[in-house]
Amino acid sequence: MFDTVAGLPVHPLVVHAVVVLGPLAALLAVLYAVKPAWRVGLKWPTLLTSGVAAVFAFVATQSGESFEERVGDPAYDHAEKGDLAAIAVYVLFGAVLLLVFWLARPTVTTSSVAGILVASAAALFLLFGIVNAGHSGAKSVWHDQVSGSTAGSGAADSD
Protein backbone atom coordinates (compact mmCIF):
# COMPACT_ATOMS: atom_id res chain seq x y z
CA MET A 1 0.00 0.00 0.00
CA PHE A 2 2.81 2.43 0.87
CA ASP A 3 5.30 1.14 -1.71
CA THR A 4 4.83 2.96 -5.02
CA VAL A 5 2.48 5.33 -6.77
CA ALA A 6 2.56 5.70 -10.55
CA GLY A 7 5.78 3.67 -10.55
CA LEU A 8 7.58 6.02 -8.13
CA PRO A 9 8.48 5.19 -4.53
CA VAL A 10 6.04 6.84 -2.12
CA HIS A 11 8.65 7.60 0.56
CA PRO A 12 10.65 10.37 -1.14
CA LEU A 13 7.38 11.96 -2.23
CA VAL A 14 5.69 12.12 1.18
CA VAL A 15 8.71 13.08 3.27
CA HIS A 16 8.64 16.47 1.59
CA ALA A 17 5.14 17.04 2.97
CA VAL A 18 6.48 16.37 6.47
CA VAL A 19 9.48 18.63 5.87
CA VAL A 20 7.19 21.50 4.87
CA LEU A 21 4.14 20.96 7.08
CA GLY A 22 6.04 20.00 10.26
CA PRO A 23 7.98 23.24 10.66
CA LEU A 24 4.95 25.25 9.51
CA ALA A 25 2.86 23.57 12.22
CA ALA A 26 5.62 24.26 14.75
CA LEU A 27 5.66 27.94 13.82
CA LEU A 28 1.87 28.14 14.05
CA ALA A 29 1.95 26.44 17.47
CA VAL A 30 4.46 28.93 18.83
CA LEU A 31 2.48 31.85 17.41
CA TYR A 32 -0.71 30.39 18.89
CA ALA A 33 0.93 30.26 22.32
CA VAL A 34 2.62 33.68 22.10
CA LYS A 35 -0.10 35.83 20.51
CA PRO A 36 -3.44 35.56 22.35
CA ALA A 37 -5.11 37.98 19.92
CA TRP A 38 -4.37 35.60 17.03
CA ARG A 39 -5.71 32.43 18.67
CA VAL A 40 -9.15 32.58 17.12
CA GLY A 41 -7.71 32.78 13.62
CA LEU A 42 -4.88 30.31 14.23
CA LYS A 43 -6.87 27.59 16.00
CA TRP A 44 -8.00 25.56 12.99
CA PRO A 45 -4.96 26.14 10.76
CA THR A 46 -2.69 25.04 13.61
CA LEU A 47 -4.76 21.94 14.38
CA LEU A 48 -5.13 20.96 10.73
CA THR A 49 -1.52 21.59 9.76
CA SER A 50 -0.15 19.60 12.69
CA GLY A 51 -2.70 16.82 12.13
CA VAL A 52 -1.94 16.52 8.42
CA ALA A 53 1.80 16.57 9.20
CA ALA A 54 1.24 13.68 11.65
CA VAL A 55 -0.64 11.69 8.99
CA PHE A 56 2.15 12.29 6.47
CA ALA A 57 4.75 11.32 9.12
CA PHE A 58 2.94 8.01 9.56
CA VAL A 59 2.82 7.46 5.79
CA ALA A 60 6.51 8.42 5.54
CA THR A 61 7.55 5.83 8.13
CA GLN A 62 5.38 3.11 6.57
CA SER A 63 6.56 3.90 3.06
CA GLY A 64 10.13 4.04 4.35
CA GLU A 65 9.76 0.47 5.59
CA SER A 66 8.47 -0.59 2.16
CA PHE A 67 11.26 1.32 0.44
CA GLU A 68 13.83 -0.33 2.71
CA GLU A 69 12.51 -3.77 1.74
CA ARG A 70 12.86 -2.82 -1.93
CA VAL A 71 16.32 -1.18 -1.96
CA GLY A 72 17.97 -2.30 1.28
CA ASP A 73 18.86 -0.77 4.60
CA PRO A 74 19.62 2.97 4.30
CA ALA A 75 22.99 4.18 5.50
CA TYR A 76 23.74 6.66 8.29
CA ASP A 77 21.02 5.32 10.64
CA HIS A 78 18.39 7.04 8.52
CA ALA A 79 15.57 4.66 9.49
CA GLU A 80 16.09 5.30 13.20
CA LYS A 81 16.40 9.05 12.67
CA GLY A 82 13.24 8.98 10.55
CA ASP A 83 11.40 7.21 13.36
CA LEU A 84 12.56 9.91 15.77
CA ALA A 85 11.37 12.61 13.35
CA ALA A 86 7.94 10.94 13.16
CA ILE A 87 7.77 10.81 16.96
CA ALA A 88 8.63 14.51 17.05
CA VAL A 89 5.74 15.25 14.67
CA TYR A 90 3.38 13.22 16.88
CA VAL A 91 4.63 15.07 19.97
CA LEU A 92 3.99 18.38 18.24
CA PHE A 93 0.47 17.28 17.32
CA GLY A 94 -0.18 16.28 20.94
CA ALA A 95 1.23 19.59 22.14
CA VAL A 96 -1.02 21.48 19.72
CA LEU A 97 -4.08 19.59 20.97
CA LEU A 98 -3.09 20.38 24.54
CA LEU A 99 -2.44 24.04 23.76
CA VAL A 100 -5.63 24.61 21.81
CA PHE A 101 -7.85 23.14 24.49
CA TRP A 102 -5.89 24.54 27.42
CA LEU A 103 -5.43 28.08 26.11
CA ALA A 104 -8.99 28.23 24.75
CA ARG A 105 -10.40 28.39 28.27
CA PRO A 106 -12.17 31.68 28.90
CA THR A 107 -9.97 32.39 31.93
CA VAL A 108 -6.80 32.44 29.78
CA THR A 109 -6.55 35.79 28.01
CA THR A 110 -2.81 36.40 27.97
CA SER A 111 0.25 34.50 26.88
CA SER A 112 0.87 31.59 29.19
CA VAL A 113 4.51 30.93 30.03
CA ALA A 114 3.79 27.20 30.29
CA GLY A 115 2.04 27.26 26.91
CA ILE A 116 4.96 29.06 25.31
CA LEU A 117 7.40 26.55 26.83
CA VAL A 118 5.35 23.57 25.62
CA ALA A 119 5.03 24.97 22.11
CA SER A 120 8.69 25.97 21.94
CA ALA A 121 9.97 22.64 23.26
CA ALA A 122 7.79 20.67 20.83
CA ALA A 123 8.84 22.94 17.96
CA LEU A 124 12.55 22.55 18.75
CA PHE A 125 12.21 18.77 19.07
CA LEU A 126 10.41 18.67 15.73
CA LEU A 127 13.05 20.79 13.99
CA PHE A 128 15.85 18.66 15.40
CA GLY A 129 14.12 15.44 14.33
CA ILE A 130 13.36 16.61 10.80
CA VAL A 131 16.79 18.13 10.16
CA ASN A 132 18.55 15.07 11.57
CA ALA A 133 16.46 12.61 9.51
CA GLY A 134 16.60 14.77 6.40
CA HIS A 135 20.36 15.11 6.60
CA SER A 136 20.89 11.36 7.03
CA GLY A 137 18.45 10.62 4.20
CA ALA A 138 20.09 13.06 1.82
CA LYS A 139 23.52 11.79 2.80
CA SER A 140 22.52 8.17 2.20
CA VAL A 141 21.27 9.06 -1.29
CA TRP A 142 23.72 11.72 -2.45
CA HIS A 143 26.97 11.24 -0.51
CA ASP A 144 28.72 9.02 -3.06
CA GLN A 145 27.68 11.16 -6.04
CA VAL A 146 28.62 14.49 -4.48
CA SER A 147 31.80 13.45 -2.65
CA GLY A 148 33.25 11.97 -5.84
CA SER A 149 32.74 15.09 -7.90
CA THR A 150 34.56 18.39 -7.88
CA ALA A 151 33.15 21.86 -8.39
CA GLY A 152 33.02 22.88 -12.01
CA SER A 153 33.44 19.37 -13.40
CA GLY A 154 29.91 19.12 -14.79
CA ALA A 155 28.98 18.00 -18.28
CA ALA A 156 29.04 21.58 -19.57
CA ASP A 157 32.76 21.80 -18.70
CA SER A 158 33.66 18.76 -20.83
CA ASP A 159 33.80 20.69 -24.13
Where are the extended beta strands (E) located within 2-151? 4-5, 8-9
Q: What is the overall mean pLDDT for the chain? A: 89
Q: Which of 14, 25, 29 is nearest to 50 (CA)?
A: 25
Helices (H) and strands (E) in the chain, counts: 4, 2
Per-residue pLDDT band at 157 (split at 50, 70, 90): very low
The sign of the dihedral angle between the CA atoms of 138, 143, 145, 147 is positive
Per-residue pLDDT band at 104 (split at 50, 70, 90): confident
> Please, what's the b/e burial string for 30-66 (b: 16 or more CB within 10 A of its CB; e: otherwise)?
bbbbeeeeebeebbeebbebbebbbebbbbbbbbbbb
Query: Percent of the chain scored above 70 by pLDDT?
Result: 92
Q: Which of 50-54, 137-141, 144-148 has the lowest mean pLDDT?
A: 144-148
Q: Which of 16, 41, 42 is nearest to 28 (CA)?
A: 42
pLDDT at site 158: 46
pLDDT higher than threshold 80 for residue 28 = yes
Q: Which of 78, 19, 29 is nearest to 53 (CA)?
A: 19
Q: Which of 35-44, 57-66, 68-77 has the lowest mean pLDDT?
A: 68-77
CA–CA gap between residue 69 and residue 151 (Å, rounded): 34
Per-residue pLDDT band at 153 (split at 50, 70, 90): low
